[in-house]
């Protein structure tokens, strides 16, 4: 079966760059109307222009996922302008890595607020639309460190583990209305987020990847598209690892 998202509307948070941008691009290539949204106006505009040059159907709205008012506006506008919301991808995420003994309250709070509360806010704001439609798919981007933990990333790992708990609970609440909620847990994917890591840290990760290469944003995007498609209609509440075999 060909994956076709014609007449489907998709929101991808944090979609100006990196994995989110690739997810949005893959949906757009499959015929969807994509709502691009990110915290920074300038990068968002740049991405919207690129999409329009490619002829992709898209709109763009700045939204900081930690801001309840902005999130509500994003969902409300999407529904008002497009008439339906078929797929929500909670991709926006940040890291503030340091050992726990050195971690500032702010490092903890901003990571949890963005990665976990952000997904709570967007999901809560969109649920009534999904329920009314009795169809839809929510996909949350977690991380393998949400399953394993990682020294120096206690805030990030906690946020990504929390996202798994949130998603599995919402999956149970929404399953009777034919709404699927799943997670993708990437391993090491080459983006701005991982670019900043020191070479020795990158080499250590590589040693632990059985496939012996880092992932690309499209590896995550292809999994997201599959999960949002009818091919995955019997899958809900699941964490799909995309990590070259790093965590088995
Ligand atoms: P990225 O290149 O840094 O992209 C993340 C995007 O989210 C950026 O455009 C960022 O904007 C935006 N963002 C940050 N805070 C936001 C907020 N409060 N509201 C809205 N947007 C916000 O990172 P990535 O590597 O593509 O990561 C995407 C997702 O995959 C994240 O959830 C990440 O945790 C997860 N992930 C990545 C990897 C990896 O190896 N790369 C592995 C596992 C999981 P600014 O840059 O302007 O702040």
Specify the ligand 1 atom closest to the Cα of 21. Answer: 26
What percent of the chain shows pLDDT beyond 70? Answer: 100
Is any ligand 1 atom within 6 A of the Cβ of residue 32?
Answer: no
- Give the residue among 229, 225, 213 at the shortest CA–CA distance from 184: 225
Specify the ligand 1 atom closest to the Cα of 189. Answer: 40
The answer to whether residue 14 scores a pLDDT higher than 80 is yes
Average pLDDT over residues 175-184: 98
Tell which phi-psi region holds residue 179, choosing left (phi > 0), alpha (psi between -120 and 50) or beta.
beta
- What backbone torsions phi and psi does residue 187 show, to the nearest 5 degrees? -90, -115
Is any ligand 1 atom within 6 A of the Cβ of residue 140?
Answer: no
Q: How far is the CA of 142 from the centre of ligand 1 (A)?
A: 11
User: For residue range 27-53, what is the model confidence (pLDDT) as tens digits?
Assistant: 999 999 999 999 999 999 999 999 999
| Bridge partner residues of 180 (DSSP) | 137
User: For residue range 68-105, what is the model confidence (pLDDT) as tens digits?
Assistant: 999 999 999 999 999 999 999 999 999 999 999 999 99
**Whole-structure pTM value:** 0.98
| Bridge partner residues of 38 (DSSP) | 62
Which residues are marked as active site?
Answer: 156
Is any ligand 1 atom within 6 A of the Cβ of residue 146?
Answer: no
Q: Is 194 helix (H, G, I), strand (E, B) or coil?
A: helix
CA–CA dist 125, 187 (Å, integer): 29
User: For residue range 190-219, what is the model confidence (pLDDT) as tens digits?
Assistant: 999 999 899 999 999 999 999 999 999 999
- What backbone torsions phi and psi does residue 36 show, to the nearest 5 degrees? -80, 135
How many residues are listed for the chain in this entry?
248
Q: 209: exposed, middle or buried (C-beta count within 10 Å: 0-12, 13-18, 19+)? A: middle
| Bridge partner residues of 181 (DSSP) | 138
């Amino acid at each position: 079966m060909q994956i076709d998202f014609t007449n489907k509307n998709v929101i991808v948070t944090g979609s100006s760059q990196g994995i989110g941008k690739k997810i949005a691009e893959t949906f757009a290539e499959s015929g969807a109307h994509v709502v691009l949204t990110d915290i920074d106006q300038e990068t968002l505009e740049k991405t919207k222009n690129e999409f329009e040059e490619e002829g992709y159907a898209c709109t763009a709205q700045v939204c900081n996922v930690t801001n309840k008012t902005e999130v509500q506006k994003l969902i409300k506008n999407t529904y008002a302008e497009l008439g339906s919301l078929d797929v929500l991808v909670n991709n926006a995420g940040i890291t503030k890595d340091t050992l726990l003994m050195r971690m500032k309250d702010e490092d903890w709070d901003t990571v949890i607020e963005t990665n976990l509360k952000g997904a709570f806010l967007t999901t809560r704001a969109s649920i009534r639309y999904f329920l009314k439609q009795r169809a839809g798919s929510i996909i949350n981007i977690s991380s393998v460190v949400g399953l394993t933990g990682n020294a120096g990333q206690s805030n990030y790992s906690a946020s990504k583990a929390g996202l798994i708990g949130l998603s599995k609970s919402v999956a149970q609440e929404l399953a009777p209305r034919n709404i699927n909620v799943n997670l993708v847990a990437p391993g090491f994917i080459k983006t701005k987020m991982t670019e900043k890591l020191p070479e020795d840290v990158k080499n250590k990760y590589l040693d632990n990847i059985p496939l012996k290469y880092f992932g690309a944003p499209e590896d995550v995007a292809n999994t997201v598209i599959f999960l949002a498609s009818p091919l995955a209609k019997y899958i809900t509440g699941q964490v799909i690892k995309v990590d070259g075999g790093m965590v088995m």
